[in-house]
Amino acid sequence: MKKILISGSVSAIALVIFSMLALYATLLLFPNIALEYYDPAFRENGGGRILYFLHPIILSFALAWFWERFKSIFKGSFTLRGIEFALVYLLVATLPSLWIVYSAMSISLIIVITWMAYGFIQALIAGLILEKMNP
């Protein structure tokens, strides 16, 4: 349990920083994508902002638990294990979630693709940290 808490905490800090960087990078590098977030499909009052920054923390501890439970399944080099871990997360959690979101909300395919890339990178960062701290 201690390994999960420590590696999950380090992963959470890294993912919060990554989330902030990704948010600002999107605004600077992809302003047209950022404009889509003004669509009525998203919260207009900004009241959910704290939820955006809590997500990487919750995700980190969930992934730390998952890593502890299934790390023996992932084989290969350090990088390969991290990529495989991220792909499993992408296929098991991100893709099905985004499938239903895309089918139910008025969002563009490019938004869904960027969310998939964001989820993959989050899981890759977490996977590499978890593997390093809890091999």
Structural element, H or E, at residue 15:
helix 2-29
Helix axes 2-29, 49-70, angle to 10 degrees: 130
Q: Where are the domains of the chain?
A: 2-133
What is the tens place of the pLDDT at every residue in 59-73?
Answer: 999 999 999 999 999
Is 121:18 a contact under the CB 8 Å cutoff? yes
Is the predicted pLDDT of residue 118 greater than 80, yes or no? yes
Is 100:82 a contact under the CB 8 Å cutoff? no
Reported confidence tier of residue 84, pLDDT bands at 50, 70, 90: very high
How high is the pLDDT of residue 65? 96
Q: What's the rounded Cα separation, in Å, for the pair 135 and 56? A: 21
DSSP 8-class letter at 61:
H
Q: What's the rounded Cα separation, in Å, for the pair 106 and 36? A: 10
Q: What's the rounded Cα separation, in Å, for the pair 29 and 120? A: 19
Helix extents (H) in 93-135: 95-104, 109-133
Q: What is the mean pLDDT of residues 11-35?
A: 92
Only one residue has tokens 């201690």, namely: 2
What CA–CA distances, in Å, run from 10 to 64, 73, 74, 83, 102? Answer: 10, 23, 21, 19, 32
Reported confidence tier of residue 38, pLDDT bands at 50, 70, 90: confident
Q: Could you tell me the pTM of the whole model?
A: 0.89
